[in-house]
Amino acid sequence: MSILARPLRICLLIVLVCVAALTSALTASSAHAAEDARIACPVTCSGPLAPGERLVAGDKYAGSAVKGIGSAGAYGIRFGLKWSPDGVNFYRLFDTEQVNNDYVRTITRSERPDLFPGYFRLVALNTSPWQTIFTKGTLLTTVP
């Protein structure tokens, strides 16, 4: 029985190490989306996005409201807002994501008090498998 137990322990250890490495990689990639943005700006920016490229507008503090506005020259851009309590670690707000040509999403303190005060960014991702799409994004915040 000990002959079988040792290989099973080794396999289990390898699986645990792989799971830990994958979890770490996924956490790092979601927290640092602005680092791999093709286009980044504090308020408004625009330009062509190849498949898989991102536009990131923001990293702005909001005390009571945030508004993301986006437009794209063709269908295939996924717009969405990200939120951070500290301005460093950003998290996707899945309920704000849409694949659309025209995007407008406002969040207020009365709607989502758990997000304010906080930092926000608008992210536009080209989900098209082949098409480069001209994209524009703006992030507006209210700081009372």
Tokens 């717009």, located at residue:
79
Q: Would you list the DSSP string of 14-80?
A: HHHHHHHHHHHHHHHHHHTGGGG-SEEESSEEEEEE-TT-EEEEEEEEESSEEEEEEEESSS-EEEE
Per the structure block, which two tokens stand in for 16? Answer: 């645990």
23-52: pLDDT as tens digits: 443 333 444 445 478 899 999 999 999 999
pTM: 0.75
State whether residue 114 is helix, strand or coil: helix
89-100: pLDDT as tens digits: 999 999 999 999
58-109: pLDDT as tens digits: 999 999 999 999 999 999 899 999 999 999 999 999 999 999 999 999 999 9
